[in-house]
A and B are shown apart, each in its own frame.
Chain A
Amino acid sequence: MSEGSATIDVEDHAREYDPEARARALQSLLIEKGLLSSDAVDRIVSTYEEDVGPLNGARVVARAWSDPEYRERLLDDALGAITELDIDVDEDTMEIEVIENTPTDHHLVVCTLCSCYPWAVLGLPPTWYKTPAYRSRAVKDPRGLLREEFDLDLDDDIEIHVHDSTSELRYMVLPQRPPGTEDLSEEELVDLVTRNAMIGVDRLGE
């Protein structure tokens, strides 16, 4: 455990130093070894902070609400429909399935084993999505979880479909179009779509 030992117990190391110091040490080492560069770090961070995020998913949803043929394509071949909107999805790393809420069916997305999430359309996941509290309860008591933690009280006759993201396939929920929005333009509809609705912890239909 002292400096100079030939091996490191990663856990001992982590208990001794905060994650920032460990991350910075790795950053400096990987840049020195040519595996990372200063501009790569900036580009990667700005990509997630500025380029990808829930707005991409909201554009997909608003288009599906406005264009029935697009909606069909989205439910049939999500990746193809998403790339129609010039959203950059790497088909090698992600398959996406869009699942549609209806008056009688509600979909909820979780990853019980880690934090799998459709980042190409929603960006990186919110903190609560990554907590053991959400991951554990979403599959066992989704109705109680939605009611008590997300103020979403679903009638007992609405069937809940929980999707545990165990493979590289990612799920995004297509929420119902809220009533009274018939006169809104596609751009205006984008503003109504919440990230939480596309995960399934919010329901826009009522």
Chain B
Amino acid sequence: MDGIHDVGGMDGFGSPNAGGHDADSDTETDDGESEDPLAGDAYEPFHDRWEGVTYSLFVATLGNGVANIDEFRHSIERMDPDRYLTARYYDRWVTGLSRLLLETDTIDAEEFWVRTAAFAAGEGTIPEREEPGLVSDLAAGVADAYGSEGEPQEPRFEAGEEVRVENVHPDGHTRCPEYVRRARGTIEAHRGTFTLPDASAHGEPAAEPLYEVAFDARELWGEEGDPNTTVTLDLWESYLAPATVGTDAESNRESEADTDDGEKGDDADNPEGTE
């Protein structure tokens, strides 16, 4: 989806060190997230206990097979854009996990609402229940919930080949950022065959060859691009089409209207014929 999470290349977010949008004025004071900017190299994974608890909720949700990593990422992408930009990082996680646990009927909506109200009023209690073997079971479950290497497939592209990223705008989850779509890049390496997030996020197991693809900054950002910078991404095969040799992306787009270039035909630019 063309969501608010897909921020690559956007302007106007200010300084990553300002805290600002990620600070939470409603709860704690300024011992919050604005305190670990570049200056210090301190390692502080959780700023409050509830953030560590939230990480544990993530492990429990994936580890028990409630959702996989792609479904989790997509649950966050579906946040209201204003909240995505203003919520603290682990608030985004709580929001996404809440959505997954409700959608799968792992928890009951009424029960959740009542329970949250109790904790907000300072009246909630966390039950004590020890289960020493659970952590390793959860770790194994998390491993299953991550996109893993699939049965090897014959790659369509090889290192050194020029490709162009498809101009696709799926409603669902994708790991093809907007800023590389329609851009021309070079295959740096074939990584193997990996779970396709676009399918996995919607409960469909599928795998495809994955490639490291390099883009010249000028190709992505025009004259604003740095002349001595490349940006590389790992992109799945269905995101890519062969680039027509000898033309740049722009003249390529013009030509495809009236010519049928090469053996791949219009399949190269419009694989499903649906857009």
**Would you call B57 and A128 a contact (CB within 8 A)?**
no
For B229, the closest partner residue in chain A by CB is A160
**Would you call A140 and B131 a contact (CB within 8 A)?**
no
**Would you call A113 and B5 a contact (CB within 8 A)?**
yes
B135 at the interface (CB under 8 A from A): yes
Which residues of the partner chain B approach A27 to less than 8 Å between Cβ atoms? 53, 56-57, 126
**Would you call A30 and B109 a contact (CB within 8 A)?**
no
Chain B residues 119-141 with CB under 8 Å of chain A are 119-120, 124-132, 134-135, 138-139
**Would you call A15 and B115 a contact (CB within 8 A)?**
no
Which residues of the partner chain A approach B235 to less than 8 Å between Cβ atoms? 166
Which residues of the partner chain A approach B119 to less than 8 Å between Cβ atoms? 17, 20-22, 24-25, 28
- Count of chain B residues with a beta carbon within 8 Å of a chain A beta carbon: 114
Which of B19, B134, B233 is within 8 Å of A40, CB to CB? B134
Which residues of the partner chain A approach B37 to less than 8 Å between Cβ atoms? 127-128
A123 at the interface (CB under 8 A from B): yes
Which of A32, A132, A159 is within 8 Å of B7, CB to CB? A132
**Which of A67-75, A76-84, A142-150, A181-189 interfaces with chain B?**
A142-150
- Give min CB distance, A47 to chain B, whole Å: 9
Q: How large is the interface on A (under 10, 10 to 19, 20 to 34, 35 or more residues)?
A: 35 or more
Q: How far is the CA of A166 from the CA of B232 in the complex (A)?
A: 10
B273 at the interface (CB under 8 A from A): no
**Would you call B116 and A17 a contact (CB within 8 A)?**
yes
**Would you call A44 and B52 a contact (CB within 8 A)?**
yes
Chain A residues 75-106 with CB under 8 Å of chain B are 90, 92-94
- Give min CB distance, B199 to chain A, whole Å: 14
A-B contact count (CB 8 A): 328
For B76-118 the 0/1 string (1 means CB < 8 A from A) is 1001100101011111001101110110001101111111111
Which residues of the partner chain A approach B219 to less than 8 Å between Cβ atoms? none
Which of B50, B57, B233 is within 8 Å of A30, CB to CB? B57
- Give min CB distance, B142 to chain A, whole Å: 6
The 5 closest A-B pairs by CB, nearest first: A112-B8, A167-B234, A45-B52, A92-B143, A134-B16
Q: Which residues of A are at the interface with B, using a C-beta cutoff of 8 A?
A: 3-8, 10-11, 13-15, 17-41, 43-45, 48-49, 53-54, 90, 92-94, 112-115, 123-124, 126-137, 139-143, 145, 149-151, 156-169, 194-196, 201
Which residues of the partner chain B approach A163 to less than 8 Å between Cβ atoms? 232-233
Which of A3, A26, A90, A157 is within 8 Å of B117, CB to CB? A3
- Give min CB distance, A43 to chain B, whole Å: 5
Which of B7, B134, B144 is within 8 Å of A36, CB to CB? B134
**Would you call B114 and A3 a contact (CB within 8 A)?**
yes
- Give min CB distance, B22 to chain A, whole Å: 6
Question: Given contacts A21-B116, A44-B55, A196-B38, are A10 and B135 in contact (CB under 8 A)?
Answer: no
- A17-B119, A20-B48 known; 4 other A-B pairs, CB under 8 Å? A25-B112, A128-B36, A129-B16, A168-B148
**Would you call B52 and A131 a contact (CB within 8 A)?**
no
